[in-house]
């Protein structure tokens, strides 16, 4: 199962570099989506609701991506905090198994944004073996974080979620908007429990600036909460 020992100094360095890069990416993407919300508000005000909804889908995907990056950042932080479990124990310790498997799984999906993730995945592969790494990549390992997989899925956002974003943006910019009753009724039954608009950051940490959630818990798989609007966002 195990291969030659990795370069632990290189691993620690790239974990730190990945955290720094992910923080910058989260901040940049959050700023861009804030500008997009202003554009959507203009579409709503002009009665171009469908065009606004198309733009909302983009924001939702970016919110998903930011939350995924926050999870990855937290895992990098966790491995640094528990680095002794990597250097001193040959077996994969349960205390880092979720972080290790999730980082190996996510590397091909985010390495274009954060090249350090590929280096980290390669070094973890050197530590725990190619068979284990391949099992992570094909998702046959149960410890991969389900919320992370959900955030990086390619499924289109639910209609109700898009509608909720439109409602919230219109509310924040004081723009009159009548929700689509068919969407609210048809989608409510199957999706309402997945959306908690009162929870605007169910992850904390990362680019949001909050405190990290306890290691090993990242909430339940669900669409992302709506980004908080600030006073500066209002016209």
Given a contact cutoff of 8 angstroms between Cβ atoms, the answer to whether 157 and 57 are in contact is yes
Instruction: Count structural domains, the chain.
Output: 1
pLDDT of residue 234: 41
Asked if the structure places residue 157 within a domain, the reply is yes
Q: Which of 57-66, 109-118, 182-191 has the lowest mean pLDDT?
A: 182-191
**Distance between alpha carbon 86 and the CA centroid of its chain, in Å?**
25
Q: What mean pLDDT, rounded, does the chain reach?
A: 83
Helix (H, G, I), strand (E, B) or coil at 39: helix
pLDDT of residue 182: 87
Asked if the structure places residue 98 within a domain, the reply is yes
Q: How far is residue 119's CA from residue 108's CA, in Å, rounded to a whole number?
A: 11
- Mean pLDDT, residues 136-142 taken together: 96
Asked if the structure places residue 2 within a domain, the reply is no
Which pLDDT tens digit goes with each residue over 2-44? 445 679 999 999 999 999 999 999 999 999 999 999 999 999 9
The string of DSSP codes covering 188-214 is: HHHHGGG--TT-S-SS-SGGGTSPPPP
pLDDT of residue 62: 95
Given a contact cutoff of 8 angstroms between Cβ atoms, the answer to whether 104 and 121 are in contact is yes
Q: How far is residue 214's CA from residue 201's CA, in Å, rounded to a whole number?
A: 15
Asked if the structure places residue 24 within a domain, the reply is yes
221: pLDDT strictly greater than 70: no
Asked if the structure places residue 133 within a domain, the reply is yes
pTM for the model: 0.76
- Report residue 84's pLDDT band, with 50, 70 and 90 as the boundaries: very high
What's the domain range around 126?
8-228
Q: How far is residue 40's CA from residue 145's CA, in Å, rounded to a whole number?
A: 32
pLDDT of residue 232: 39
| CA atoms within 13 Å, Cβ hemisphere of 67 | 31
- Mean pLDDT, residues 207-223 taken together: 38
106: pLDDT strictly greater than 80: yes
Measured from the Cβ of residue 14, the count of other Cβ atoms closer than 10 Å reads 23
Asked if the structure places residue 91 within a domain, the reply is yes
Place of tokens 């723009």: 175
pLDDT of residue 176: 95
Helix (H, G, I), strand (E, B) or coil at 90: coil
In degrees and rounded to multiples of 5, residue 211 shows phi and psi of -80, 145
Asked if the structure places residue 3 within a domain, the reply is no
Angle between helices 181-191 and 159-172 (to 10 degrees): 120
- Mean pLDDT, residues 62-68 taken together: 96
Asked if the structure places residue 105 within a domain, the reply is yes
pLDDT of residue 123: 98
State the CATH number of the domain containing residue 93. Answer: 1.20.1260.60
- Mean pLDDT, residues 71-80 taken together: 98
């Amino acid at each position: 199962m195990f291969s030659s020992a990795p370069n632990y100094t290189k691993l620690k360095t790239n974990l730190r570099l990945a955290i720094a890069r992910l923080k910058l990416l989260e901040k940049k993407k959050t700023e861009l989506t804030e500008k997009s919300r202003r554009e959507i508000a203009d579409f709503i005000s002009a009665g171009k609701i469908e065009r606004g909804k198309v733009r909302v889908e983009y924001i939702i995907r970016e919110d998903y991506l930011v939350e995924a990056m926050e999870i990855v950042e937290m895992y990098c932080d966790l491995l640094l905090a528990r680095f002794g479990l990597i250097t001193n124990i040959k077996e994969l310790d349960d205390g880092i198994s979720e972080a290790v498997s999730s980082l190996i799984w996510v590397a091909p999906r985010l390495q274009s944004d954060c090249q350090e993730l590929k280096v980290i995945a390669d070094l973890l592969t050197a530590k725990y073996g190619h068979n284990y790494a391949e099992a992570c990549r094909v998702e046959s390992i149960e410890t991969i974080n389900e919320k992370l997989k959900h955030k990086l899925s390619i499924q289109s956002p639910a209609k109700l979620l898009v509608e909720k974003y439109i409602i919230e943006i219109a509310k924040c910019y004081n723009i009159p908007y009548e929700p689509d009753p068919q969407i609210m009724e048809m989608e409510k039954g199957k999706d309402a429990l997945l959306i908690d608009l009162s929870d605007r950051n169910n992850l904390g940490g990362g680019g949001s600036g909050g405190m990290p959630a306890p290691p090993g818990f990242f909430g339940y798989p669900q669409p992302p909460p709506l980004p908080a609007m600030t006073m500066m966002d209002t016209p």
